[in-house]
Structures are given as structure tokens and as C-alpha cells.
Amino acid sequence: MSDNTANLTVGGDSKDYAIMDGTVGPQVIDVRKLYANTGMFTYDPGFTSTASCESGLTYIDGDEGVLLHRGYPIGQLAEESSFMEVCYLLLNGELPSKKELADFTNTITRHTMVHEQLSAFFRGFRRDAHPMAIMVGVVGALSAFYHDSTDINDPEQRRIASHRLIAKMPTIAAMAYKYSVGQPFVYPRNDLSYTANFLRMTFSVPAEDYIPDPVIVDAMDKIFILHADHEQNASTSTVRLAGSSGANPFACIAAGIACLWGPAHGGANEAALNMLREIGTVDRIPEYIARAKNKDDPFRLMGFGHRVYKNYDPRATVMQKTAKDVLEKLGVNDPVFDVAKELEQIALNDPYFVEKKLYPNVDFYSGVILSAIGFPTEMFTVLFALARTVGWVAQWNEMISDPAQKIGRPRQLYTGPTQRDYVPVDKR
């Protein structure tokens, strides 16, 4: 085997496969000719060893606990940047100048209103519908409203669709919340920042305005930054796969939202807080640790473990500090935060979690913060979807612009019956 090829011998026949280099991270073996050469597929359920695309957006080193967006460490972005700036960075590849940021923010601000007719969609749902169910439906419905930005072959239409999605998602998320609590929808206001505007649309009522507290706005903005993108995770891969057929961007993002909803993915923040509440007090932690370790019990510590991170999730570090700041600022003494900190300590010292390299992930502390701010648990995944929208559209756009892009079409190892003849029902 030479330096830049991998040699594979199948049935005595040897062939070289190119090894491709990224800028950093593992090399990949280009197996695109494998089937033509051997008549065999690779088998990799869950894509544990398969790179599905090239991407220049986000890099993760799971062993070291590193997360970079366009090269910038997530800790620096969360501490020093803003969500609007991170959106620009993900979409355009570079940090904006002052003017570029002002222009971008202005564009997003001026796209936050939704077509008035869209509010009728909400009224078709039951009041007790899960807001993620509403999000899947309403975001998918955007393609019926914004026809002038659904031609995916036109870069300008793609740009407009991306801006629309980022801008309208907070409005739609706030409407989903308002609908569930039976309060009137609140229109966006252009004099507020992206995040302050979202908080106001969520928490103000006609009888009383909501003046967003800068500490809460800052915490929420950090949470948005921490969720903005995360490489080829399940929902992003779903968006790419849906988009690979040429589907319009609104439909693709609706597909991403549907995937994100699952408890192994974005739904874990809701599940983590429910779990912490169920544990309730520090003395009950050992019982839950024992359950998590028991092979016969399907219970898992929610907010723990990650497919890629085999070290502390760098987003969880920022999240834990933000939780402390928010609880202090609000004067909230939530026993759930104590349970979370103690559970983390016990798990980090338990051989089961140490050996399997299971660490807290982004979802472990986010629920504590969101609950202190006033969000019901059902809204947690909606907030994740809101923030991840920029990652989804940036990845979708990158895919459409990639000359190597093809419709996604995995193959399979068939294990069903071989061909057999149909038997009429009266002869069976």
C-alpha cells in the first residue's frame, strides 16, 4: 500500500483506493469504485465509519472534545461572539466586518414576519399538540407561501430561502408556544435583537410587555450558538438527504425538524430534564446510575454519551457555566441543578461511564437553564430546531453547490426471501 492509496484484496483481486485528506482529522478511503470493482457494498449501519460528504463548515475532534465552526473554537464563539455573527460565519465562511454584520442582521430582522395566512395553520392543530409536531407541519408549509425562493438551482433564491428560514423560525417557534398556552400571537419588533425579539414574542402578552433581561438574552444567545451546527449529525444528514433529491429548502428543513425530535437526538434535552426531575433528590442518584448500567433495563442517562465525543462535550462546559449564571441572576434555587452536578460527578467517577467514555453532552444542562427562563419542557427541542436551522441551511447550501453532489441512495444487505411465486388467497 502506498502513502495515498489503500489496497483491498477481494477474491484474490487487488485494487487500490485513493486516500483523501481533509485539512485536519481522519483521512478517508474513497470507496466509490468498490462496487464496480468487486460487486460488493460496504456495510455500515449508523454510518459509524462512513463520511457521507465533504464539508468545510464544522470540525469535531471527539477524542479531544474539540468543536470548531469554520475553524473557530465553540468556546470562543459562545463567549465572545453573537448568534447573528455565528450565522453569518456558517453561511459565508468568514467572520463579517462591522458593516457586513449590520447588513446581515438588518436583512434577518426584516424577514421575521410570517405570511398572515400562516397563523390559520396553527389553528388547525389541537391546543395540546406537541410544539415539535406543529413545527414540522408549519415549517413544511412555508414552501406553499414563498414560491419565489424554492428554485434550488438559483443561488440568489437559495440565499433568500436561507435568510427567511433563519428569520422566521423564532416567530414560528414563539407562535407554537403561544398557541399551546392559549395566548394571542405576538408580532416581531424590529428594534430588538434576534434573541430579545424571540423572548418577547414568547413571553409578552397584550396586557403586559416583556422587557428582556440582558443576562437572559445573553444566555439564550449562547444556547443558540451552542446548537448552531454540529457536522453530519442525524438531522443534518436528513436535511442533506432530503435536499439531494432537489426538494425545496422548506421541505428539507421540515424533514430535519422531524429527525431532531427523537430522544436520541434533539429530544434528549427534554428527556434529560424530565429524568433529573424524576430523580428529584441527590440520594436517589445511585438507583438511577445502577439502572443505566443494567443491560436488562432500557434506561439510559439522558444528556450523557455521544456518538462522536469520547471526552467532555465542549458545549456542555459552556452550558454548565451559563446555567449557574442564569440561576444566580434569577435567584432560582432549583434542586434539579444540584442533582445534575452531583449526577455528573458520580457518573464521571464510575468505571462503567469511564470505560465507555460517556460524558455529559450539550443537553445535560440546557434544560435547567431553559426551565429557569420559563420554557416548558416541550419547547426545549423547538429551541434546538430554531438554533440548528442555520446549520441545516448552511449544510444544505454547501451540498447543492458541491459538484460531487448526487442524490443520496444507500445500498443494503438484503436478507428477505428470495424470489417465489404468488399463491392466490384461497390456496394459502
Site residues (CB under 6 A) for ligand CMC? 230, 233, 264-266, 268, 292, 300-307, 356, 358, 361-363
- Toward ligand CMC, which CB reaches closer, 196 or 301? 301
DSSP symbol at 322: H
Strands 66-69 and 28-29, by their bridges, are unpaired
DSSP symbol at 406: -
* Cα–Cα dist 355/250, whole Å: 42
Q: Measured between alpha carbons, how far is residue 193 from residues 40, 79, 83, 202, 270 in Å? A: 54, 17, 10, 14, 26
Strands 58-61 and 28-29, by their bridges, are unpaired
- Toward ligand CMC, which CB reaches closer, 175 or 292? 292
Per DSSP, the three-state class of 332 is coil
- Toward ligand CMC, which CB reaches closer, 127 or 356? 356
Point out the residue whose Cβ comes nearest to ligand CMC. 305
* Cα–Cα dist 50/32, whole Å: 12
CA atoms within 13 A on the CB side of 352: 14
Q: Are 173 and 88 in contact (CB under 8 A)?
A: no
Q: Measured between alpha carbons, how far is residue 382 from residues 93, 176, 386, 393 in Å? A: 26, 9, 6, 16
- Toward ligand CMC, which CB reaches closer, 48 or 333? 48
Q: How far is the CB of 14 from ligand CMC (least distance, A)?
A: 33
The letter for the amino acid at 222 is: K
- Toward ligand CMC, which CB reaches closer, 196 or 285? 285
Set 163, 227, 306, 313: catalytic member = 306
Closest CA to 217 of 377, 332, 110, 82: 82
DSSP symbol at 216: H
Q: Is 151 one of the annotated active-site residues of the chain?
A: no
Set 218, 229, 313, 363: catalytic member = 363
Q: Measured between alpha carbons, how far is residue 102 from residues 84, 265, 279, 335 in Å? A: 10, 33, 46, 41
Please report where in the chains the cell 460524558 appears, as a residue.
359
- Toward ligand CMC, which CB reaches closer, 67 or 118? 67
Backbone angles phi, psi at 225, to 5 degrees: -60, -45
- Toward ligand CMC, which CB reaches closer, 362 or 393? 362
- Toward ligand CMC, which CB reaches closer, 67 or 201? 67
Please report where in the chains the cell 439564550 appears, as a residue.
220
Q: What is the largest CA-CA distance in the chain?
A: 79
CB atoms within 10 A of CB 202: 25
Q: Is 306 one of the annotated active-site residues of the chain?
A: yes
Q: How far is the CB of 299 from ligand CMC (least distance, A)?
A: 8
End-to-end alpha-carbon separation of the chain, Å? 57
Q: How far is the CB of 356 from ligand CMC (least distance, A)?
A: 4
Q: Which residues are catalytic?
A: 306, 363
